[in-house]
Amino acid sequence: MYFAAHTTLRVWGRVGCLVGSCSVAQVREATLAKVFRLVRDRVGRESATTFCRRLIDGRGPREIVSLLDQLEPEWSDHAIASAYTILIGAERRKALGAYFTPPHLVRHLILRMVECGLNLDRDVIHDPAAGGAAFIVPIARRVARAGLDRGDSPEDVLADVRARLSGCEIDRGLALIANALLRRMLRREFGMAVGPRFGLVSMGDSLVDQHDGLVDSWIGNPPYAKIGAKGHRRWRAEFSDIAGGQLNIYAMFLRRGLDRVRTNGLLGFIVPMSFIGSPDYASFRRRLAQMSQIVSIDLIEKRKHVFLDVVQDACFIVVRRLEEALEPETTGAVSAACCMVHAEGETEALGTVEVSLDGLPWRLPSRGQDGKGGATLSDYGYETRVGYVVPQRVADRMHRRPAKSRFPLVWAKAVGSDGRFDFMRAEHQSQASGRLWFEAKAMAPYVFRKPLVVVQRTSNRKQERRINAAAVPKSFFREHGGLVGENHVVLVSPIEGRKPVVPPKDLAALLNSGPVNERFGRVCGTVTVSALLLSSLDLPLPQRVLGLAAKRGEVRDKAVLTAYGEIAR
């Protein structure tokens, strides 16, 4: 049910093109945009479930039904499921994580699992988050077509579909819609006489409900959300083997699936890439690699009209349950296949993912020569710390004017896209509201007094780089005596008692470079820049990057590649 990157409904914005020059994708996007604009006009006028079921039966508003009929069947289904999320409102939509998987991504995951051994003619398949029927309907379509092509009777085909395919959905309305979409597909495309009670998706909670026996495969798009304090009390003990700094529902679904599929059974999910390298998911990575063979990890192309307002990058993961889990002390690494999935489902082989067996970050393939730098920030004489100030917790100590015992409060906005530091740039940032000064004791451990580098802790799609850094000059410290970081920045500061090997301006230039960002992206799939991950990032030897700040653009990137040893010196 859940769409990989929490795409908002604005993803299908206005698409303009000359008559006769539109691609199929552009026409589809324009049609979807019209559907969603018309659906928004219906908010509050009738229940989401009733309205969507009328659309499925062809009895909804004439203009919307006409537009839906112009779409391919799988995109029509996607549009109706998405219409449900519009009508239930933002609060309920967020609680459910109700953002649905586009058909081209569904298609890729099914085909990838078939390549990995899924047998659509024989296997028992379950979708644990089946609202919207994004996976159940396409799989049932394939099973039905294959059965009829073999000469099976419609009755035998329906019996086979019912026996081998199932889904579970926590929202009653979405479960009803999923089954209605299934019935429509079987009637329209195959002329099968299915009754109003025919369905494969039951209402329930896949993390709680027990199913009869094991299945061959789980496939789907589980919800992405941290479980919160209440959830931790409910679930942490049960999922203690994957619980690290945080426990996310999608990780719980993967872990639960490994208990619900047979030995050598497959799990195929669309999940956030945050687990690839985040320190919070070390236990999850370790346990997943102990219990299963990581068969493939495929990336999704970052494209304007596929993912807008993305909270985090997403990927496909296919794993095969092992007969016996590896011993906890197992170390080393194995490899998994990797490709890039482009706009309409085309794929490009990228190589292999290096899967660590002991919880270390997994490494995505490089498109370059993959030179080894051999150094980390500590070799440069620096360490990382997240900014101390969480505004809602210490609002009474944040001020709009300087005064005694007040230090500059550095917000993420102070880091420019050009790599320059501008303290006053954050003055009009909405959360800052002009509060650029923080009251603190002179010797407080979170007050920094030496030149350093500030890194934005989160990035977004509008930014060219994942790491955005700026050096804070000596003059700033001479004028103000020190600074305090807001929680959305990482401070890369000199290690106490050590003299940095390179000045902050050269370090900032290195962190902003293309080669360093490419390497960081291979171990970090989330928009959050982890201080711990930044500390462990492979960098060139420090003496090779002295004077880097004087270089710009391609010249700088070439110098960094040379420092990594990827270009001859």
A 10 A CB-CB count for 157 gives 21
Q: Mark the ranges of the chain whose per-residue pLDDT is less than 50.
A: 2-16, 18-19, 304-311, 568-569
pLDDT for residue 198: 96
- Whole-number pLDDT of residue 305: 42
Q: Coil, strand, or helix at residue 276?
A: helix
- What is the 3-state secondary structure of 511-532? HHCHHHHHHHHHHCCECECCHH
E strands within 276-332? 292-300, 314-321
Q: Strand 201-203's sheet: what is its strand order?
A: 201-203, 165-169, 125-127, 215-220, 261-272, 314-321, 292-300, 333-341, 347-356
Whether the Cβ atoms of residue 494 and residue 500 lie closer than 8 Å to each other: yes
Residue 116, classed as helix, strand or coil, is: coil
The full DSSP string for 247-262 is -BHHHHHHHHHHHHEE
DSSP 38: H
Q: Tell me if 185 sits within 8 A of 163, measured CB to CB.
A: no
pLDDT number for residue 293: 98
510 SS3 class: helix
Q: 221 near 315, Cβ under 8 Å?
A: no
Backbone angles phi, psi at 523, to 5 degrees: -120, 5
Distances (CA, A) of 166 to 185, 203, 364: 16, 11, 33
Is the Cβ–Cβ distance between 455 and 386 less than 8 Å? no
Q: Can you tell me the distance from the alpha carbon of 441 to that of 451, in angstroms, rounded to the nearest whole number?
A: 19
Domains located in the chain, CATH noted: 9-356 (3.40.50.150), 377-564 (3.90.220.10)
Cβ atoms of residues 203 and 49 within 8 Å? no
368's CB contacts (< 8 A; 6+ apart) are 515, 518, 561, 566
Find tokens 């305090």 and name the residue.
Answer: 484
Q: Which residue, 15, 14, 9, is CA-closest to 39? A: 9
Query: Whose structure tokens read 């994942």?
Result: 466
C-alpha 186/C-alpha 84 separation (Å) is 21
- What is the predicted pLDDT for the residue at 52? 94
Q: Which amino acid is at 362?
A: W
Q: Is the pTM here over 0.75, yes or no?
A: yes
As a whole number of angstroms, the distance between CA 138 and CA 467 comes to 39
Tokens at 472, concatenated:
């804070």
**DSSP calls for 432-469:** TTT--EEE--TT-TT-B-S-EEEEESB--TTSS-S--E
Looking at residue 104, its pLDDT comes to 92
